[in-house]
A and B are shown apart, each in its own frame.
Chain A
Amino acid sequence: MSLRNRWRKFLNVFMLAMTGVCAVAAVSILFLILGYLAWNGWRSLDWNFFTRLPKPPGELGGGMANAIVGSAQIVLLATLIGAPVGFFGGVYLSEFGGRGFSFVVRYVADLLNGVPSIVIGILAWTVVVVPLHRFSALAGALALGLMLIPITMRQTEQFLRDVPQSMREGALALGASKWKMIATVVVPAAMRGIATGMILGVARIAGETAPLLFTSLNNQFWSSGWNQPTASLPVMIFSHAIAPYEDWHRQAWAAGLVLLLLVLLANVAARFILSRGISAQRGYL
């Protein structure tokens, strides 16, 4: 074998080994974290966690039922605020956008995506908490909703762009108006992708802590309304983890595991939707 061939062979093996090691390293760090969380969380998790309110410091037991419901409330409202704006913005960018204005919108959306989440929290604090003189679920939802807008907008745009131009022409050639074409052909063709993107976006904001710290704050009890401080899982984890009580640490682990499982569930659901293939669009109505 010539020197050149040997060198080539060596390079092949070397590169394979390098990339393999890095891949394994990345995956093992992830599994280490997940494993540690699962181990600690599972030991700490009990039925009370889902059904009881937090106990005052020093008392054992209790749960985070209020934080689970609170998180669900805030995330739901955030989705109602962020998803429609993001969706229609994405439709505009993909289907109507010209050059100048679209460029600005796209650029701003990417900037907004990169803004540290705590800054978004400060914004919601300024426009909702300060004028209303109280922390509230509404303020938290606004902060998370604002974060969701650029995510869904860019994803919606991308999935709509992936729909072949020939689909649009096919619909227009049958006498459909532009709106009709978008609503009946383009959006349905991209719907699975868009839905997947939204689920992942929602899963992402569900784990955010910083924007909630001074918007929805926290609550040891059931929140009595949208304009009241409301408990949420991420903030609960934060407050319990930094407290000096052993039993609160246990609760924080449990909350961490529950949050992780919820996000995982969202991911699996998203993948499932995306992989269902064309059969998802059957139906003769």
Chain B
Amino acid sequence: MSSSSDSELTVGKPHERPRSHAGAGVRLAAAPPKMRSVNLNFYYGAFQALHDISLDFHTNRITALIGPSGCGKSTFLRTLNRIHETVRHTRVEGRILLDSEDIFQVETTTLRRRIGMVFQKSNPFPKSIADNVAYGPRVNGVRRKTDVEEVVERSLRRAALWEEVKDKLRESAYALSGGQQQRLCIARALAVDPEVLLLDEPCSALDPIATAKIEDLLFDLKDQCTIVIVTHNMQQAARVADYTGFFLLGRLVEFNTTEVIFKTPARKETEDYITGRFG
């Protein structure tokens, strides 16, 4: 895919959306979507948290999920790598495809190696900084000390943390500040070179400088992976995302290119939310 995201934004539109509220556009994206969610319902016990979500995540593109608190963004993200299965009494209906393969047919360990995740609350392990980053490569069989050290440095550099921690790699990750811990979790997820990266509000604890670095990172990463980012920050969604989905009360209200969502949304709820008139 050589077309820049800008040129695509002006003319393109995601193809084959089951739920399209946007005006007509020219179908450009030729590559099949990296991931697809098809008629997804999600239940916590008797409570239905997601209703009939159908949406495509395009290869090497950034998709932002926005919406008010409690609308199901995290829940949706957590089904994409099946981490929701650690929560009891959860149930999923519908299908999720990764490269047109049903993720519920794939071994979870294999699946999660391919789909990395940065959680809403940063969760470093009670280990050293280096051991945190090295965790993924190690469980995936990287043993050679030099290999491990190399991947640790590379991942920390990419997460814009290397300069701050390079002299204290062996110290506890808990000695880092909240924002540094969040970047450590990003580095940890990057260390396994995921094909898809799920980020749940990765910048909520970061200052503008670190946020800008993470956003730069996301642009760089686009070449290698497909990114899904949940954010409460409208400017951030507008800045980084190629596509944006707006969630409300467990439903996907609107999904389109970021340009369309932010400039000419088809639905009133979307416009109200984006312009801050939501309430």
Interface residues of A (CB under 8 A from B): 164-177, 180, 184-185, 188-189, 278-279, 281-285
Contact = CB atoms under 8 A, between A and B. Distances in A.
Contacts of B124: 170
A283 to B, nearest CB: 6
A188 B188 CA distance: 18
Nearest to B127: A281
A170 B119 contact: yes
B122 to A, nearest CB: 9
A17 to B, nearest CB: 42
Nearest to B139: A176
Interface in B165-199: 169-172, 174-175, 185, 188-189, 192
A206 B128 CA distance: 36
A171 B172 CA distance: 17
Contact of A172 (B86, B110, B171): B86
A165 B131 CA distance: 19
Interface in B88-145: 108-110, 112-113, 116-117, 119, 121, 123-128, 130-131, 135-136, 139-140
Contact of A282 (B83, B123, B170, B192): B170
Contacts of A281: 126-128, 172
B59 interface: no
Residue of B109, B117, B124, B171 ringed by the most chain A CB atoms within 10 A: B109
Given A185-B125, A283-B170, A170 B192 contact: no
A166 B123 contact: yes
A170 B140 contact: no
A278 B170 CA distance: 12
Query: What does DSSP make chain A's interface, helix, strand, loop or mixed?
Result: helix
B126 A189 contact: yes
Interface residues on B, range: 20 to 34
A181 to B, nearest CB: 8
A173 B117 contact: yes
A284 B140 contact: no
15 contacts: A167-B123, A169-B83, A170-B119, A170-B125, A170-B188, A171-B125, A173-B83, A173-B116, A174-B112, A174-B136, A174-B188, A185-B135, A281-B172, A283-B131, A284-B131
Interface of B: 81, 83, 86, 108-110, 112-113, 116-117, 119, 121, 123-128, 130-131, 135-136, 139-140, 169-172, 174-175, 185, 188-189, 192
Given A171-B135, A172-B86, A279-B172, A189 B110 contact: no
A186 B171 CA distance: 19
Kindly name the residue among B108, B117, B124, B139 whose own CB sees the greatest number of chain A CB atoms within 10 A.
B139
A141 to B, nearest CB: 35
Contacts of A189: 125-126
Nearest to A175: B113
